Structure 1
């Protein structure tokens, strides 16, 4: 399906920057936008078309070259364009505008439209872009009018045949002027649960009106008999009615009066609304569920896009603050630069985890006893473990030093590991065992760690994890559980929490079953080895020569300065095409490239490098903020290349490059 999807950027150079932003954000949504039966377009700050899906071109019959880069008024016509005056004012205030109604479109005539307009990046009361989603409901409105006409015709036909009581589909009840039943057709007998013989001669109030409403009915009949106002005569009235078994149900009633000689008769035509009321209630419930689903879907897409867009500026802030702190070492301002770096790093952690976790309060780090968390988790799950026949062993090291951590987050890891073990042991018929142990990691003379580390292992004797899946189980949304049992987020979130505390979550080869090991520094902070530059890779004569490829000059310059400061010889290229040209002119030991770039992106660059310089294709590191994209994950799996997620620190970059050069 992806082979039929196209991104149509406007040829105008003035929207180049917006097109780059769209190219970076739309990959996650392009398949959906091309598949929906709605027209979706994107307008730039000057209200020119910069993107449109296939449904738009199908509706207009225009070619992308006739549309992209053109002002909206030229495409939709002056009349339709003028009607957007009020919409523009609301968009300028940052509101999402939804409207529907008739409009006159150039080339399409009078159409009934439903539209949602979403402003993007409002600056100074001017949206830098506007996303417009349109549905053409013209045919639906016409069919609705035709249906209304047919209903009216049916009602007229039913009124014409009202005298044919026995064949009427409606319940027809006629009374004399005293309110006693004189006619009771078969439909009425079925509706009220009475035979015609049982109803004739009885008061209509006794036959069909609930006791609580009978005084009101008697007063109305007395008023009409005395020549007073006829409030319900000839009008459709919804009211509760009474069945013979005493139960109430909703009916729609039309009452009219007929004079026969000197006598007056009243006839009520009644329709049972029970099914309609139930159906309406179900429709309302489904409509509300759909609204909530659409809201969550839109919010998830918006948050994913926001996270992706924040990664680039956060990378620049973090990197520049780190470099500034190094340059100003010994200066009083160095601490300010470090504080900026720490704040940006914190933002990066939030961006990485907000889609995976929902917290009821801010994280609060304090001294946490790992033994107590393990004991509390076992106590909490004691019934579940016992009911599943799992023998639990706690092997906790006495006197284990506390860890400075957020108790809820670390407790979430412990609970997740134990629940995973319990679910895995369900595949074993008997002899189910779970061992939770803690200890203190040994420190050697050459160990660069400055603080001791504690560990906790959760070991089960279940089926274990296949070797080829041991790293994939930490990927978001990947799960080995059956459908409906797991989301594939537990281990990914747990590892993220562990790393945020300066620790790690790994799976160890235990021979049988699965064994997960959580390691945490007592301080709860990242250790010196994670913040100090990693030793450079040794080469035969000169330092390694690296090529940095990124279409954003600030990112390329930042990466170049970080690598050059560590002793590498660095050259930069602003696009994949320029990088290929440079590879023909000079030798490089490794390539650090952005994954998403216009024209020739990172994937295309890798394929060209693999064709021209196969050895170098094995030493490519991709920098990306597109951590949620299935396309990015699929390519990285195919290429077997390492990746560095934005935002990143200098230490992370140097560590990945060193590993790349020494592999």
Structure 2
């Protein structure tokens, strides 16, 4: 036995104070205790170290000569020794004490110890020796604390990730490498209309991919699993997705792969693009509406540009036809001349209607018989309908109350509907039928305060209009006709006119044999008025011998105006320009001037200013004839001059009525 494991008695106490039994067993105990990993020491009654095992000296790094027979307080240090006060008190009663905790050992710093202190050889209630067995758990405690810190950090990180995952605005869906869902955050549950518990464990293809795309999805997953090309990984991809109710919606997806140990997971971040798609469609719709508005604006400008040129020949046709009818009164040819006049007059009204719409002028409302408008439209299109083999039926309810409306505008609606039906019937080989009917809408108790309404229906047995297109046909420039057949404006304009009159134009389901049926409804103005008699001819004015000056750069218009006015008894002279008119005013007296508004060099406005400067009274008796009804410059001048105007084309009666009023001023 080495010196380190010998009992070294203290000079004052001596080994003889230990019991013989203890001394006899020490060799055996030494061998046993030397083999245990714990530190074992024996203290005598005076708390001096009398024995220690090999582990103690290894732990402290001290030599037996440094510590044997030394008070334990000197070995462990004052701080640690003071901490044993309570332990010593308990041991005096023969009690074995076990404790563990942090303590400060001299020369070793702060250590975490676990100790058992066993008092032995009690004599008069005082232990004659103490066996102390201790384990240094410092490294274990430090690793445990480090591990606890890492666990806490991991838990905090996991809690943060869970918080981000659960509260993310994007839908996050994670799957294993087989494509089965392992995570499904609340945003995904909301987006797909499926609870997390219902999604977990199911195939992602079944939950969120439309059936027609599942084959491509499965093929892509198989390709990636084999190490093939990752076509969508990490890229923003727009694709349709499937809700739990079976509806599809657009999403933007970013997919990434995560390896955890030997396992592979795929996570998709998804954003619902429905609102963006709706906004995109709305923006595109507004852009299209803007383009169509620009087209309408351009068309309005085009109409303004051609109105003057178009109205001049129409004025000549109307005027000459009227004069011809007067000259051939009583002759069969007078009827033909009257028809020419009526056709030209209608052309003029149509042009005027479009111009009125373009400049947003209110309609000229009067009592209108809807049956008469329907009959007139059929009469006008009789040849076209007959030549296309269309069998026309008129089913007009007699005694309909009149409508307070603009006859030209409502007549244009009826004409548009019949023309559309005629063009649609061209797609049938035979058996083409068209029915125009009118009636009075029944009144319900809730309608008693409303004006009664009458209706007009135009029905055909053509191919009809698909349900999904029944509202689109009223959009400007939308047409179901082949290229070059329609402009797409007729129904849009017609509905606009109907609504402007407080009515409506709709498509109904009662077409003939599945064809189309358009229904126009308009509010009426009251009971029918007594039939109007033919207006009496204008009586000759007292001043029919008045001298009139006609100024127009169009010789035919000037000549036509001269003949109309001369036929009414007026003395008429004509001038081909404003400058010539001023020269004639210097030579002769005139009671009124009828002038074109737009002329080269000195126009009507310039002529009026010169006349106002030299002959103010005559300036108040100037009537301007114009075909440019859209020009803001013309409108501004007429408002400034406070002069009356006559729009081309015009009827003789209208011209004479204006001149009569002019001469009274």
- Asked which structure has the greater CA Rg, the reply is 2
| TM-score bracket for this pair, using the shorter chain length | 0.3 to 0.5
Compute the TM-score of the two structures, normalised by the length of structure 1: 0.44
